[in-house]
Amino acid sequence: MKRLILPILLGLATAVAASAGQKTADPKQVEKVAMALPEKAPAKPKATRNILVFSKTAGFRHSSIELGTKAIAMMGDKTGAYTVTATEDESFLEPEKLAKFDAVFMLNTTNDCFQPKVADKNNKEQVEAAKKREEELKKSLADFVSSGKGLIGVHSATDTYKNWKEYNQMMGGAFVSHPWHKKVPVKVVDPKSPINAVFDGKDFEITDEIYMFRDDTALSKDRKFLLVMDIEKMDAKDKAGGKRKDGSYPISWINAYGKGRCFYCSLGHREEIFWNPTILQHYLAGIQYALGDLEADATPASK
């Protein structure tokens, strides 16, 4: 069955990427994604859902961005859970444009990526206008989420606007470093959460670049952890890489922001994450939570 729908999925994903001005992902990798996609969504959409996938970078740019954009779009097309509009044009964050979407997906964005380009950085008026524009877009996103919409992020979505308080509260964490880029043990914190259903209550190992977050962010009192790195199963050398005061190294979580819902997973540095069928199903469940289609308890465990 997958082989029959493969050409259709590849075509849809290519159209999304082309319309957003994205580079073309490796066709062989895209085929791996198509073969790994979930057969269906965990929840039936309550309405037609539209997601804005935003992948603009203002710092390091991950090579997995183009493939990740295709993977998320293809997953929505196949399962019928949502439709993607992918862009790196910050004007899509204007309130009137955001209004047609149900969630924004920050896919490996970095740094202050809402800033418009300035033709002459020595021109004070241009610089001030760009800053004003950026603040307007930041407010637009915060208002969008708090009004009852969704925010989704993978990997370096937490290496974005690390000094914007509202964004840190929405996305949940602020990147500090990545001491681990190897196979690590992962603990399923909440086996009963529908977003963790794919793991069937079993811990696992995965290879990716694992983030450590700033001590005042990614706290268990503020959000519901879903997956954490099981540092107690690591050897002394690897344990020593962890510098968090609370000794906690979360990987995936959900939380509320105003009337809105947020889902974040730090996996997504490496291309193969986007053709890992288990992680794709975890992503899909988290996306549907953010969209309001999959009910899940977001109460922090410490509360």
Pairing of strands 103-107, 50-54: parallel
Average pLDDT (73-89) is 98
User: What percentage of the chain carries pLDDT values higher than 90?
Assistant: 81
Nearest to 110 by CA among 145, 70, 162: 162
Q: What is the pLDDT of residue 20?
A: 42
Work out the pLDDT band at 15, boundaries 50, 70, 90. very low
Average pLDDT (18-47) is 87
The per-residue pLDDT of the chain, averaged, comes to: 91
Average pLDDT (99-119) is 95
Alpha-carbon separation of residue 268 from 1, 49, 204, 247 (angstroms): 27, 23, 16, 23
Is 275 inside a domain boundary?
Answer: yes
Is 191 inside a domain boundary?
Answer: no
Is 165 inside a domain boundary?
Answer: yes
Pairing of strands 250-257, 260-265: antiparallel
Is 153 inside a domain boundary?
Answer: yes
Q: Is the pLDDT of residue 29 over 60?
A: yes
Type of residue found at 108: N
Work out the pLDDT band at 178, boundaries 50, 70, 90. confident
pLDDT, tens only, 243-293:
889 889 999 999 999 999 999 999 999 999 999 999 999 999 999 999 999
Work out the pLDDT band at 118, boundaries 50, 70, 90. confident
Q: Is the pLDDT of residue 11 over 60?
A: no
Count other C-beta atoms under 10 Å from residue 96's C-beta. 7
Average pLDDT (187-211) is 97
Q: Is the pLDDT of residue 236 over 90?
A: no
Is 114 inside a domain boundary?
Answer: yes
**3-state SS class at 157:** helix
Work out the pLDDT band at 303, boundaries 50, 70, 90. low
Q: What is the pLDDT of residue 175?
A: 86
Its pTM stands at: 0.92
Residues spanned by the domain of 271: 2-174+218-226+251-291
Type of residue found at 215: D
Tokens for 291, please give them: 């969209």
* Choice among 74-78, 232-236, 259-263 with the minimum mean pLDDT: 232-236
Is 189 inside a domain boundary?
Answer: no
Q: Is the pLDDT of residue 241 over 60?
A: yes
Average pLDDT (211-217) is 94
DSSP 113-131: TTPPP-S-TT-HHHHHHHH
Cα Rg of the chain (Å, integer) = 18
Is 271 inside a domain boundary?
Answer: yes
The CATH number of residue 109's host domain is 3.40.50
161 within 8 A of 217, measured Cβ to Cβ:
no
Q: What is the pLDDT of residue 67?
A: 98
- Count of structural domains, the chain: 1
Question: At residue 40, what are phi and psi to the nearest 5 degrees?
Answer: -155, 165
Q: Is the pLDDT of residue 131 over 90?
A: yes
Question: At residue 18, what are phi and psi to the nearest 5 degrees?
Answer: -65, -40
